[in-house]
């Protein structure tokens, strides 16, 4: 369904920037979505990065079901952007935050992805795509506020309730592993959490837990600005 593609496209846009923040050097949707859960050899851990304070040990244990406290990689929190990744065995948790206007620069790729979708069949789907194209005109020069407004509209097109500022979706981590990704955009900041543990599948309870953790993280992000 086109609604699931909107949710996935928003997640991939966030993952593209997630990969860029981790120093992957790639900006393609495909490589971003297939970011390895293993820490990059070229990315030295920065355990005192402020981004590592956005998720508490309790938050991480709530998501993974066990302690995930080893910082695998992180990047400094500066100019509103930062990232921290934790890993224990096969468990991965990562938080990324950045100014919404920077996230918006990746949005034209959302339209390209949707236009090439084989699921774009009904008049309603085509109307949604036309709305998205109009919305994202000039996305590269959006202000932070405009970017968060666009996020909300895309969330609605993805099936979220009107005015929603959060999306949750399943995303590929590697060729053989999937994770759950949640993004929120409030106060001009886009924050994304992605986590993966063996056997993880999306459910209402998983979504509720992740959304709650993301909400707490976003409060810490905005307080740090």
DSSP codes of every residue in 109-171? HHHHHHHT-TT--SHHHHHHHHHHHHHTTTGGG--HHHHHHHHHHHHHHTTPPTT--EEEEEE
How many angstroms separate the most distant Cα atoms in the chain? 51
Residue 197 — very low, low, confident or very high, per pLDDT cuts 50/70/90? very high
SS3 8: helix
Half-sphere exposure of 218 (CA within 13 A, CB side): 22
> Pairing relation of β-strands 81-88 and 166-172?
unpaired
Mean pLDDT of 169-178: 81
Q: How far is CA 125 from CA 19, 73, 113, 154, 158, in A?
A: 30, 40, 14, 13, 11
Mean pLDDT of 136-148: 91
pLDDT above 90 covers a percentage of the chain that reads 40
Burial (0-12, 13-18, 19+ Cβ within 10 Å), 173:
buried
The average confidence (pLDDT) of the chain is 79
Contact assessment for residue 98 and residue 78, using Cβ atoms and an 8 Å cutoff: no
Contact assessment for residue 114 and residue 140, using Cβ atoms and an 8 Å cutoff: no
Mean pLDDT of 15-29: 42
* Domain-wise residue ranges, the chain: 2-30+50-224
Instruction: List pLDDT tens digits, range 35-47.
Output: 333 333 334 445 5
Contact assessment for residue 7 and residue 113, using Cβ atoms and an 8 Å cutoff: no
Handedness of CA 68, 70, 73, 79 (dihedral sign): positive
Instruction: List pLDDT tens digits, range 45-83.
Output: 455 678 999 999 999 999 999 999 999 877 777 777 888
pLDDT at position 22 over 60: no
The predicted model scores a pTM of 0.79
User: What's residue 4's pLDDT?
Assistant: 56
**Please, which residues bridge with residue 169 across strands?**
181
User: What's residue 13's pLDDT?
Assistant: 54
190 vs 173, more confident:
190
Q: How far apart are CA 21 and CA 97, in angstroms?
A: 9
Give the H/E segment covering residue 84: strand 81-88
Mean pLDDT of 90-96: 92
User: Structure tokens of 55?
Assistant: 């998720």
């Amino acid at each position: 369904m086109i609604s699931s593609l909107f949710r996935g496209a928003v997640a991939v846009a966030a993952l593209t920037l997630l990969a860029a923040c981790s120093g992957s050097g790639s900006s393609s949707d495909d490589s971003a979505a297939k970011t390895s859960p293993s820490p990059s050899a070229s990315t030295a851990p920065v355990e005192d990065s402020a981004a590592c304070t956005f998720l508490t040990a309790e938050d991480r244990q709530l998501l993974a079901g066990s302690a995930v406290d080893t910082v695998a990689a992180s990047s400094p929190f500066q100019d509103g952007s930062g990232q921290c990744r934790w890993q224990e065995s096969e468990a991965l948790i990562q938080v990324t935050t950045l100014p919404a206007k920077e996230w918006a620069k990746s949005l034209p790729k959302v339209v390209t992805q949707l236009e090439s979708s084989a699921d774009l069949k009904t008049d309603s789907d085509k109307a949604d795509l036309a709305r998205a194209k109009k919305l994202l005109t000039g996305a590269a020069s959006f202000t932070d506020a405009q970017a968060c407004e666009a996020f909300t509209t895309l969330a609605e097109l993805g099936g979220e309730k009107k005015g929603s500022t959060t999306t949750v979706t399943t995303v590929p981590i590697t060729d053989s592993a999937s994770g759950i990704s949640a993004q929120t955009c409030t106060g001009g900041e886009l924050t994304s959490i992605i986590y993966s543990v063996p056997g993880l599948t999306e459910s209402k309870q998983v979504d509720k837990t992740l959304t709650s953790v993301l909400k707490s993280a976003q409060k810490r992000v905005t307080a740090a600005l």
